[in-house]
Structure 1
Amino acid sequence: MSSFRTAFALALLCCVPVLCIAGGARAQGAATIKIGELNSYKAQPAFLEPYRKGMELAVEEINGAGGVAGRKLELVVRDDGGNPGDAVRVAEELVTREKVDLLAGTFLSHIGLAVTEFAGRRKVFFLAAEPLTDKITWQNGNAYTYRLRTSTYMQVAMLLPAAIAAKKKRWALVYPNFEYGQAAAAIFKEQLRAAQPDVEFVTEQAPPLGRIDAGAVAQAVDDAKPDAIFNALFSADLAKFAREGNTRGTFNGRFAVSLLSGEPEYLDPLRDEVPVGWIVTGYPWYAIETPEHKAFIEAYRRKFNDYPRFGSVIGYSTIKSIAAGIAKAGSSDTDKLLKAFENLKVVGPFGPFEYRACDHQATMGAYVGELALRDGKGVMVDAKFVDGNTVLPSCAEVASRRLRPQN
């Protein structure tokens, strides 16, 4: 038994007994490797339409080169309804009715957690492509789930040096009131307090996802008179908050750090209303000159006549990861695939990364930069790539985090 499975032995003993159905139940001689992919396509189209295109590009490249382990890849895509219960039902249908070899996808953190629990209970391989919550690989992790995208903890850690260097005492927190936002705020408070014990958090605004009263939130932040703002809103909620904050002067003279706000999915719709000066994580596709990214962007433009978004990178890297794992395993058998993903090395548009054996988290990094206006639209400037390895806790620290809840 691997060290990862040993770490989860006690947790697995607590699960309700169920009939075990392996994800690799289809005959290995089948013509294709079926990837069951579920996601909130209708609820989060800004990110997930580019994500789907990234997947399609990767499948086309891999199948065009002869497939993997002698078989072509086949995507079986379903919408999870943006609801954990629906997501579990869809995952069940993919495994039972469609006989997929493995599961991948999910976007929202609470849905990713639901499918993580399903994967552990049904003993099917699951690559959580996009959900950010650390619980997927830490407190709620299991032997059957790996995660690709740079996690909440990692992204907060990437912004922390700028927050510390700003030396601001009074902070306002703004985040969506569900698992990802709650975790982001908790991690930021924990890490900033450790570095700056006298910090004060003067207000926390946590509107429901997709139902923000942006004017009221911006006014509440302004009324609290913070020196700085931590933001974890995204998508339409971010756009509404940024516009109201600019209109009301909420951001004037205030330092701000923000998760995800440099991703073109969320930055482009703001146009000239971008909150200039925010330090953000994101994807400055127009400024990345590495060979891996140049090859990716050329292939993406050739196929779609468009520039990639960050979702495109994640979709592409999801399929490339699965293909690399199957190639290493020589099979889509669940047990062999799980073993192959331990310390699996993959090359994506951001360069090489790997999946850690101790917590199943990928080390893929992200870009950090400052928001600015250029030709009437928002861009990231002075962007620098942060290797995921540099912001992940040690395996010993991960083990301790699995045993205690986040504050």
Structure 2
Amino acid sequence: MVTRRRVLWATAAATMLASLVPGSAALAADTIRIGEINSYSGLPAFTLPYRNGWELAVEEINAAGGVLGKQLEVISRDDAGKPANAVKIAEELIANENVALLSGTFFSHIGLAVSDLAKQRKVLFVAAEPLTDAIVWEKGHKYTFRLRPSTYMQAAMLADEAAKLPAKRWATIAPNYKYGQDAVTAFKELLLAKRPDVEFVDEQWPALFKIDAGATAQALLAAKPEAIYNVTFGSDLAKFAREGKLRGLFENVSVVSLLTGEPEYLDPLGADAPEGWIVTGYPSTEINTPEHTAFRDAYKARYDALPMLGSIVGYNTMKAVAAIITAAGSTDTDAMIKAAEGLTVQSPTGPFTFRAIDHQATMGAYVGKTAVKNGMGTMVDWTYADGADYLPSDEEVRKMRPAD
């Protein structure tokens, strides 16, 4: 039964909570607000560790005195994996929440949509995760910077390894949206430049998270490739790996696979994880540099879990945001853009720089092979590939990127 006392208690509780939650007027006066958008309900396996990462970074930044004498306050929203939602949220963050800049996004088509809005509204956007090359090249502009190594960069890392294989007949499988299309285009171009004797005998384009894995594996098997370039991830990857194994698709066939070594996608496979695939990923338990060990220990103490690749991306994103504002000396958009161009940021995986020519960060990736140890998938024989070594020249960028 609803009583007057319960209504009064609920009203008082709501008032108290409003004074505590991020975005409240009580906190706003002495804070710098950052608008953060991501697909938390659309791909929680990656985005929830990502949120843990940026929350840890914000806690560390604020504990050390904040930025420009103010605390960072993150106003975070879930776009549910829909570009229209992301654009609407971005508008609200700019118009109603007085954010200094926008950050985040996961899917490439969502990142592109938010980037376009940032250009229209003349607001800085630090794109954390979307991997499409277009966001810094064909559709790049002064207001968007991108953190993670792009599809081109990671495809170049894998093409180096693929070129060493004896395989000549290649097939590809990728989700049929901007990220997957970019990843296949870049890999084919880069591998053919190194190995003109290679031919691509089949392409499979399943809809994102709607793969008919059995039929796709059977089609690839019929093409008789000697090697496969895989771009599927998440649940699509799990289905493809299982059905491909059942049908013998991977027997005597080399597999080069984008993102598969990331714990978000490798861990769920358990003992069924593929072995011997050449992958990009994140061997979190094996990286023992002082910077990474400190990050891993802090993350484990805070969340009682090992960091995922998303954790690194989230952490590096907010560290980069803080570094940009600090270097700018203000939250003026033009000042932040000028400060970010050529800015070097320290991180658990080593320093990275936002290139002035295209606003792409030089953050790298780990390249190695998959294996199963103690019933779990892991990366072995890995090395760190510096992103700066896998980017096109300034001259090539000028041909791709429109003038601001």
Q: TM-score under structure 1 normalisation?
A: 0.91
Alignment check: 8 A CA contact 1:246 1:273 kept: no
Q: What residue identity is the alignment partner of 1:214?
A: A
Counterpart residue number, 1:364 = 363
1:323 aligns with 2:322: yes
Counterpart residue number, 2:145 = 146
Counterpart residue number, 1:102 = 101
Q: How much has 1:402 moved relative to structure 2?
A: 2.8
Counterpart residue number, 1:389 = 388
What whole-Å deviation, never above 9, does each CA across 1:256-280 have from its counterpart, x for those lacking one?
1110000000000000111111000
Q: What residue identity is the alignment partner of 2:250?
A: F
Matches within 5 A, 1:123-162: 123-162=122-161
Alignment check: 8 A CA contact 2:51 2:311 kept: yes
Alignment check: 8 A CA contact 2:160 2:191 kept: no
Distance 1:353 1:185 in 2: 26
Distance 2:101 2:265 in 1: 30
What whole-Å deviation, never above 9, does each CA across 1:263-318 have from its counterpart, x for those lacking one?
00000000011111100000000110111100100100111111000000000000
Q: How much has 1:255 moved relative to structure 2?
A: 0.6
Q: What residue identity is the alignment partner of 1:88?
A: V
Secondary structure in structure 2 of the residue aligned to 1:176: coil
Specify every segment of 5 or more residues in structure 2 that has no aligned partner in the other structure, as ranges: 1-27
What whole-Å deviation, never above 9, does each CA across 1:109-149 have from its counterpart, x for those lacking one?
01101111111111000000000001000000010000000
Counterpart residue number, 1:5 = none
Counterpart residue number, 2:215 = 216
Q: How much has 1:197 moved relative to structure 2?
A: 1.8
Distance 1:90 1:226 in 2: 45
Larger mean Cα displacement after TM superposition, 235-244 or 190-199: 190-199
What whole-Å deviation, never above 9, does each CA across 1:124-175 have from its counterpart, x for those lacking one?
0000000000100000001000000011000001111111000311111000
The sequence identity of aligned pairs, in percent, is: 59
1:308 aligns with 2:307: yes
Alignment check: 8 A CA contact 2:136 2:145 kept: yes
1:197 aligns with 2:220: no
1:67 aligns with 2:45: no
What whole-Å deviation, never above 9, does each CA across 1:340-371 have from its counterpart, x for those lacking one?
10111101110111100000000000100000
Alignment check: 8 A CA contact 2:354 2:362 kept: yes
- Superposed CA RMSD: 1.0
Q: How much has 1:398 moved relative to structure 2?
A: 1.0
Distance 2:396 2:29 in 1: 42
What whole-Å deviation, never above 9, does each CA across 1:43-96 have from its counterpart, x for those lacking one?
100000000000110000000011011110001011112111111111001100
Q: What residue identity is the alignment partner of 2:80?
A: G
Give the number of equivalent residue pairs. Answer: 375
Distance 1:294 1:247 in 2: 39
Q: What residue identity is the alignment partner of 1:377?
A: M
Q: How much has 1:30 moved relative to structure 2?
A: 4.0
Secondary structure in structure 1 of the residue aligned to 2:164: helix
Counterpart residue number, 2:332 = 333
Counterpart residue number, 2:250 = 251
Alignment check: 8 A CA contact 2:280 2:366 kept: yes
Q: What residue identity is the alignment partner of 2:357?
A: C
Larger mean Cα displacement after TM superposition, 122-131 or 244-253: 244-253
Matches within 5 A, 1:340-351: 340-351=339-350
Distance 2:367 2:196 in 1: 25
Counterpart residue number, 2:288 = 289
Runs of 4+ in 1 over 6 A off after TM superposition: none
Q: What residue identity is the alignment partner of 2:307?
A: P
Secondary structure in structure 2 of the residue aligned to 1:285: coil
